[in-house]
Amino acid sequence: MSCELSVIERLSRAIVEADRGVIHRPRLANAVGQIDQEHQEVAVPRQPDPVDPSQSPWHLLGATLRHYRELAGDSLQEVASKVLVDYSLLARWERGARPAPADAVRRLDIHLNAGGILIALHGIVTKQVSTSVARAATMSDPDDMDQARRNLLAGLAALGASAMVPPTEGLEQLRAIIDHRVGVPGIAEWEERVWEYGLQIPSRPPASMVADLSLALLAFQKAMAGAPGSEFPQWARVNARLTLLLATVLGYAGNRLESWAWWATARRAALQTGDDEAIALVDADEAIQGFYEDRPPALLLSRLNNALALTQDRPNAATARALATRSQLLAMLGDHAGARASLDQQARVFDSLPNHVTADELSVGGWTERRLLHTRSLVHALSRHPDAERAQSEALRAHPRGVPRGEVQLRLHGAISAVRNGDVDDGLEHARSIVTGLGSNVSQFVVRTASMVADAVPASGQSRATVRDYREWLALPAASL
């Protein structure tokens, strides 16, 4: 205990002394280095991957975070599960390869009993980096420029054999200098960036999208604060769209609680636009994701009804998405007549959709024929429709290449049909092989669709060993499936 108190006291003193406008990195780095060495000698029998606290402010925070985690005797996975973050992201924060967000640092500080040290250090690091980048944007003194050059070279040298470039102070300084010369990104660039993110979501690993979108949203808030008032509606729409995308990928990555909170934020961001379609799109997309997260049907129906009330059945993406989700939800609840009615209404809306919506095949913002067919495939599978097999074949033929998760879902629809038709063991084994073939690229949508295969087994067969084994396998972490 005396060692632990000494650690906290010395680190607190170093942080207080450092917070005098600009961080005194060598002194803080020395304090953390001594703490790490002392802790390894006393409490940690193994040597962790090296972290040099003097390399950058984020490396300093990472070394401190690692110290408190190891002091608690917890693994990365144990801490990540308790504070609701992906453990691979936590590992990157410890290595200084990613800036840690303030809300996650707050949860980590509480869980690791750091007594506010991590929170204070995060504030200092953020302030120092912001000050350094702001100073770099206007620098003209040769010594200052040379310091920026040294920071850049130090960050690039730290890459080593890594295939991923981490954010470094030097790169941020370089970009700030150039932006000061040529101008910061305007709304047109941000609109293009949001569109590109929408293209990436169906095929990229969700965890990497969470990191990229988080950083993009942070940068966007700064840009939006300095935007002309006359452009506010455009900036508000991009803000709502970025926030919606982050809520979506958090759900894809399995971070359900964080995703739910971000959906509420996305709804408030959409309200700022004053655009009924933007608000309806948030409600419809939350319901789509909530359907695959097994959220309460009453809540989902409330979201869908609100979306449809806002759009008043006008032919747009929000209306089509809301009707599609309602048909799937009703089919799952056993209201097959209501599900078919929503399917028919969705088909009528689809025929009147603008070309830019029906032609957007790749992004999550479009609503193409293959999405219509995907919905029909699942509804027919859930309702044991006689045309289920044909609906699945049509949907598979229309599915684009390069989007493996969507194709896996469609093949799982076939497994649902097989189980409903009495081929329980074959259907479950087929579903398992389909999901396993996807490797690590498993999303929450895939896992939930796979669970529908087991749900399709009649109540009298739920106690079968094959069903129990399948459910236990499906409960494993995505990386283990």
Work out the average pLDDT over 324-333.
Answer: 94
Residues 139 and 29 in one domain: yes
Last residue of a domain, one of 368, 399, 430: 399
Q: Comparing 54 with 448, which gets the higher pLDDT?
A: 448
Measured distance CA(439)–CA(416) in Å, rounded? 21
Q: What pLDDT, on a 0 to 100 scale, did the predictor assign at position 142?
A: 58
Q: Both 22 and 70 in a single domain?
A: yes
Whether pLDDT at 369 is above 80: yes
Q: How confident is the model at residue 335 (pLDDT cuts 50, 70, 90)?
A: very high
Question: Domain containing 343 — which CATH number?
Answer: 1.25.40.10
Torsion of CA 68, 73, 78, 81, to 10 degrees: -30
- Count CB atoms within 10 A of the CB of residue 165: 11
pLDDT digits (tens, 9 = 90+) for 441-465: 777 788 889 999 999 999 999 999 9
pLDDT classification of 3: cutoffs 50, 70, 90: very low
Measured distance CA(409)–CA(450) in Å, rounded: 8
CA-closest candidate to residue 395, choices 367, 375, 421, 379: 375
Over pLDDT 90: what percentage of the chain? 37
Domain ends where: 144, 160, 182?
182
Q: Which amino acid is at 423?
A: D
Give the rounded distance of the alpha carbon of 185 from its chain centre: 24
Count of structural domains within the chain: 3
Judgement on whether residues 177 and 207 belong to the same structural domain of the protein: no
Q: Are 234 and 155 found together in one domain?
A: no
Distances (CA, A) of 318 to 50, 52, 274: 49, 49, 15
Residues 245 and 340 in one domain: yes
Give the tens place of pLDDT for each residue, 207-220. 778 888 888 888 88
- Residue 97 confidence class, pLDDT cut points 50, 70, 90: confident
Percent of the chain, pLDDT > 70? 74
Domain that holds residue 331: 187-399
Assess whether 176 and 148 both reside in one domain.
Answer: yes
44 pLDDT tier (thresholds 50, 70, 90): very low
Say if residue 288's pLDDT is above 80: yes
Q: Which of 196, 217, 11 is nearest to 101 (CA)?
A: 217
150, 182, 214: which is the final residue of a domain?
Answer: 182
Contact 453, 431 (CB under 8 A): yes
391 and 284 together in one domain = yes
**Which region among 13-22, 106-115, 384-393 has the lowest average model confidence (pLDDT)?**
13-22
Q: Are residues 161 and 19 in the same domain?
A: yes
Is the pLDDT score of 153 beyond 90?
no
- Residues 249, 314, single domain; the answer is yes
Same domain? For 200 and 221 the reply is yes
| Same domain flag for 338 and 231 | yes
pLDDT digits (tens, 9 = 90+) for 310-328: 999 899 999 999 999 999 9
Under 8 Å between Cβ of 441 and 405: yes
Overall average pLDDT of the 168-179 stretch: 62
Query: Does 129 share its domain with 244?
Result: no
Length of the chain measured in residues: 481
The rounded distance, in Å, linking the Cα atoms of 363 and 437 is 24
Maximum separation of any 2 CA atoms in the chain, in Å: 79
